[in-house]
Structure formats: structure tokens, C-alpha cells
Amino acid sequence: MIVLGIESSCDETAAAIVEDGRILHSNIVATSMDLHAAYGGVVPEIAARSHIEAIMPVVNQALTEAKMTWDAIDAIAVTYGAGLGGSLLVGVLSARTLAITKNKPLYAINHVEGHVYANFITKTALPGYVLPTKQPVFPILALIVSGGHSQLALFRNHFDYTLLGQTQDDAIGEAFDKVAKIIGLPYPGGPSVSKKALEGDAHAYAFPKAKLAGKYDFSFSGLKTAVLRTAQAAVGADFTLPSHELPARLSEAQKADIAASFEHLAIETVVDKTMLAFEEFEPKSVVIAGGVAASSELRQQLSERLPIPVAYTDFKLCTDNGAMIATLGCFKAMHGQFTADPYTLDIAPNLSM
């Protein structure tokens, strides 16, 4: 079963080819991130326009990299939600058109479920990938942490999962992005906060950990505000100081200490919940997914606290990509799941798990 996966839910235009939900044949990602950097976040209209320009070159490159023609492709899988409406439309309409013109079955994929399936890729002839040697085993506890999502889910089997908890406000990646802005680090905030944190003291500032009614729910908006107030106090100002004046007034050491203290606490928050769920559900595997899964701090805290080893996938498969979409598409096809109608498949920007 060879599936071409298409992903365009945010600012990455991506296509990839995966065989049997295991073997990665190609993985092409074009990002419009540079175009958004000046604005400190993704501008939906710019993202949608970039997808239109990139989508067909990216799909063709995925075929070329895999040394395949359309004849080799058994099915197409595409992200139909959640995500930005204009961005999703480009991927879905392209996939629908290709499914009709190339006469291939079409599978509609939930982006967040897709992130989890990046962990099923264990083989590739492509250079530069560090992959787990074994696929995860059910029941799987999945921590999904990205710029748009913070979720904890228990997968009993393929297509049989329970959402244990999720963020009640901001996603953890979004908090990284906002903290980066407060202390004047470049977008995207995750990698730049992580890098700055290496020079700082994780215990310099005591930020509050949110207490929520839901045992497995998260909240990051209070933490984000605490970082802002701490930064204002650190320069001797009160809450009336506009945040855009902070980067120039904070010293490099203060920025590093704020980055380290924030990163440590934000990651500890999601690791605490993962540990609680691990104890309650006794999963055979634990996987992490989404852009924040690239965080070395997350990987370190998890491996220190979990009694079983966590197999991490390659950084390139943590952030948005087509390979995760193709992989879930393979499993849908191999398990006889419903195909989507290429004439009517609609986007679902607010799709939940």
C-alpha cells in the first residue's frame, strides 16, 4: 500500500510518499515561515497564497524523490482539519482534483491524529533521518504538543482512541512563540527559546503551574502572563510598560533566565500529566508528537521520569509534514476505512480529535 500524503493546514506545504505505514520514500516540505517572521506569527492570507504557489511543485518533487510515477501510488491522503481555512482549502482542493484525474481513492486525515502516526515510520533510504527501530505498540499514550494543540490521548488500537485531556486556552507551542516575542527572540519561538534557555538558570524565576479541574487538561495562558509580569518587574517597571519595549531593556542574562525558567515549567507541566496518565492506563508505548516534540528539554524530562524508554522520531517528522498524513492514510487503507468523496470533501478548520 503506497500512499501520497498532502499537508497544508498551517504554513508548511508538504507532500510525502509512505509504504505500508512504515517505509518513508519521500518527504518534501516547503515553508512560508520566512514570510511570516516579520509579523511574529503566521499570517493566514500569506500562508494560503504560498500554498497555491508551492503545492504542485511539492507534490511533483515528492514523486521525483521517491523515484515513482503516479502508477505506483495506490491512494491519496490529505489533511482536511484542523487548521487555517484558506490553507486547508488549497491542500484539499488539490488532493480532490488529483484523486479524480489520477483515479485514486482519497482519505481525509485529521491533522492531530496524523502527528501521532509520524511515530510509525521506522524505515527509509533517504539520507539524514534518525528513526525508531520499532513501531509503537498498543495501547499507546500519545502526548501531542504543537503550535495549535496540546492534547493527551490513549490509543487502544488504530481508530480507537480516547482524548484524555487538552489545553483549555493556548497551545504549548503558542506559549513558546509568545514568550519569544516578550523577550525579543525570533519566530518561531520554540527553537529560539530552547536555544536561549541553554545559557540560563531554569530556577531563576518561579512561574506558577496552572491547576485545572480536568485531571489531564492543560492551560498556558496564565503562564504566558506570568512571564510578561516577571519581565516587566525584572526591568523595574509595572504592568503598564508596553511589551514591545521589553526586549531592549532586558539584559541577555535576564532573557536567558526567563527562557530557561519558562521552558522548564511549561515542559514539566505536560510531563506531569503524561506521568499521571502513564500510571493510570499502563500503556505499552508512549509517543510524543507535534512541533514541540522537537524539544530536547521535553525528551530529557520524559526519559528521566518514565520507567519505559520512549522512541523519538526524527525532528523533521515532528513538525508539520506530509509523511505523517501518508502514514495514517496507509493504515486507513490497510484497515478498510471509509474513503472520502473527491467531489464533496470539505475542510473542517475546527476539527477536534
What is the C-alpha to C-alpha distance for residues 50 and 72, in angstroms, rounded to an integer?
28
291, with CB counted inside 10 A (0-12, 13-18, 19+), is buried
Minimum distance of ligand KG4 from residue 71's CB (angstroms) = 32
What is the C-alpha to C-alpha distance for residues 320 and 146, in angstroms, rounded to an integer?
9
End-to-end CA distance of the chain: give it in Å, rounded.
Answer: 25
The grid coordinates listed for 332 are 486507513
Binding footprint of ligand KG4, residue count (CB under 6 A) = 20
Minimum distance of Zn ion from residue 169's CB (angstroms) = 18
Q: CB under 8 Å to 278, separation ≥6 — which residues?
A: 141, 286, 306
The reply on whether position 191 binds ligand KG4 by CB under 6 A is yes
Listed ranges 116-124, 131-139, 236-244, 314-322: which one lies at the site for Zn ion (CB under 5 A): 314-322
Amino acid identity at 329? G
**Residue 190 binds what, of ligand KG4, Zn ion, none (CB under 5 to 8 Å, by partner type)?**
ligand KG4
Binding footprint of Zn ion, residue count (CB under 5 A) = 2
Listed ranges 46-54, 99-107, 143-151, 230-238: which one lies at the site for ligand KG4 (CB under 6 A): 143-151
The reply on whether position 146 binds Zn ion by CB under 5 A is yes
**Residue 283 binds what, of Zn ion, ligand KG4, none (CB under 5 to 8 Å, by partner type)?**
none
The reply on whether position 8 binds ligand KG4 by CB under 6 A is no
Per CB under 6 A, contacts with ligand KG4 among 307-326 are 319-320
Cα angle: 333, vertex 159, 336; to 5 degrees: 25
**Residue 314 binds what, of Zn ion, ligand KG4, none (CB under 5 to 8 Å, by partner type)?**
none
The reply on whether position 81 binds ligand KG4 by CB under 6 A is no
Paired residues of 17 in beta bridges: 4, 26
The reply on whether position 189 binds ligand KG4 by CB under 6 A is yes
Among 174, 257, 297, 320, binds Zn ion (CB under 5 A): 320
249, with CB counted inside 10 A (0-12, 13-18, 19+), is middle
The reply on whether position 136 binds ligand KG4 by CB under 6 A is no
**Residue 76 binds what, of Zn ion, ligand KG4, none (CB under 5 to 8 Å, by partner type)?**
none
According to DSSP, the β-strands at 23-31 and 12-19 are antiparallel
Among 147, 165, 283, 329, binds ligand KG4 (CB under 6 A): 147
What is the C-alpha to C-alpha distance for residues 214 and 209, in angstroms, rounded to an integer?
14
Among 90, 294, 302, 347, binds ligand KG4 (CB under 6 A): 294
Where do the H-state alpha helices sit in the chain?
Answer: 33-37, 44-65, 85-101, 111-117, 172-182, 189-197, 221-234, 246-249, 252-281, 296-305, 315-318, 323-334
What is the C-alpha to C-alpha distance for residues 332 and 194, in angstroms, rounded to an integer?
36
Among 177, 217, 257, 314, binds ligand KG4 (CB under 6 A): 177
What is the C-alpha to C-alpha distance for residues 18 and 37, in angstroms, rounded to an integer?
31
What is the C-alpha to C-alpha distance for residues 113 and 331, in angstroms, rounded to an integer?
12
**Residue 207 binds what, of Zn ion, ligand KG4, none (CB under 5 to 8 Å, by partner type)?**
none
The reply on whether position 19 binds ligand KG4 by CB under 6 A is no
Minimum distance of Zn ion from residue 289's CB (angstroms) = 8
Binding site for Zn ion (CB under 5 A): 146, 320
Binding site for ligand KG4 (CB under 6 A): 10, 146-148, 173-174, 176-177, 188-191, 194, 290-292, 294-295, 319-320
